[in-house]
């Protein structure tokens, strides 16, 4: 059962495989081991895994489907791309595979730099249920947001999010030119796994025309960022 977990709580389920955080999948385990190498300290592993997920998995907000299978961490790893929620689930999965308790958090964020293309498709600059990862490091929860890969940030002049395992890594309120960028509007809490039904309900309510059958299935993230 996906249930909200109080901020201070660290329970055994946060190291266990889950429906969407399939940390026992062979490819997840292999990826985690390859990235962590001989590292022993959890914080060292966490930082390495963060950058691997951030940069090796391309960010693509053009969600092809809301089917449960599309959200599973191992599917995202195999695809090599995903939007914020699958990437957050993937980071949580590889962290658990490395022995680091993890959970996923969600918030509504307003993107003041949303591209015209994506704005037209979504009908809003408010992104509901934006996903990030929370890692249990040095006896506390630390937020990590692996959504935007480095190449994407460099292309669009967005300052990439860094992560040192001690400070929260959250979207910048301004970009490198001083323009308003991301604004956190509402927090939904932290979960042991993706609260799938709640996510789908809120997504469909916010963007009723997102999956327009006239859209091209090959419409990829080529000219815009969220």
Q: Is residue 4 part of a domain?
A: no
Which pair of structure tokens corresponds to residue 69?
């299978």
- Does residue 6 fall inside a structural domain? no
Per-residue pLDDT at 196: 95
Longest CA–CA separation in the chain, Å: 51
Q: What is the domain count for the chain?
A: 1
Q: For residue 141, what are the domain limits? A: 12-206
Mean pLDDT by 10 residues, the chain (226 residues): 61 94 98 98 98 96 87 97 96 98 94 63 77 96 95 85 95 66 84 95 87 44 40
Q: Up-side HSE of residue 207: CA atoms within 13 Å toward CB?
A: 21
Q: Is 130 helix (H, G, I), strand (E, B) or coil?
A: strand
Query: What pTM was computed for the model?
Result: 0.87
Q: What pLDDT score was predicted for residue 225?
A: 43
Tell me whether residue 97 is in a domain.
yes
Report if residue 222 sits inside a domain. no
The angle subtended at Cα 59 by Cα 165 and Cα 23, nearest 5°, is 55
- Answer whether residue 7 is part of any domain: no
Looking at residue 127, its pLDDT comes to 85
Q: What is the pLDDT of residue 220?
A: 35
38-44 long-range CB contacts below 8 Å, 24 or more apart?
42/98, 42/99, 42/100, 42/137, 42/138, 43/137, 43/138, 43/165, 43/166, 44/165
pLDDT for residue 226: 43
Residue 67's domain is classified under what CATH number? 3.10.620.30
């Amino acid at each position: 059962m996906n249930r909200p977990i109080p901020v201070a709580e660290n329970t055994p389920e946060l190291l266990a495989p889950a429906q969407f955080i399939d940390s026992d999948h062979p490819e997840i385990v292999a990826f985690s081991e390859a990235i962590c190498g001989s590292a022993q300290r959890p914080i060292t592993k966490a930082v390495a895994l963060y950058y691997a997920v951030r940069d090796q998995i391309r960010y693509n907000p053009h969600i092809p489907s809301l089917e449960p299978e599309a959200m599973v961490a191992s599917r995202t790893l195999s695809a090599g791309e995903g939007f914020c929620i699958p990437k957050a689930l993937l980071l949580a999965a590889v962290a658990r595979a490395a022995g680091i308790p993890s959970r996923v958090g969600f918030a509504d964020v307003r993107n003041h730099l949303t591209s015209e293309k994506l704005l037209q498709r979504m009908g809003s600059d408010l992104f509901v249920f934006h996903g990030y990862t929370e890692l249990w490091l040095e006896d506390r929860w630390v937020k990590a947001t692996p959504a935007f890969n480095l190449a994407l940030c460099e292309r669009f002049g967005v300052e990439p999010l860094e992560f040192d395992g001690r400070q929260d890594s959250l979207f910048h309120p301004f970009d490198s030119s001083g323009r308003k960028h991301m604004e956190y509007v509402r927090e939904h809490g932290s979960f042991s796994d993706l609260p799938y039904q709640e996510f789908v309900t809120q997504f469909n309510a916010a963007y009723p025309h997102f999956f327009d059958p006239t859209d091209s299935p090959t419409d990829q993230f080529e000219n815009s960022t969220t």
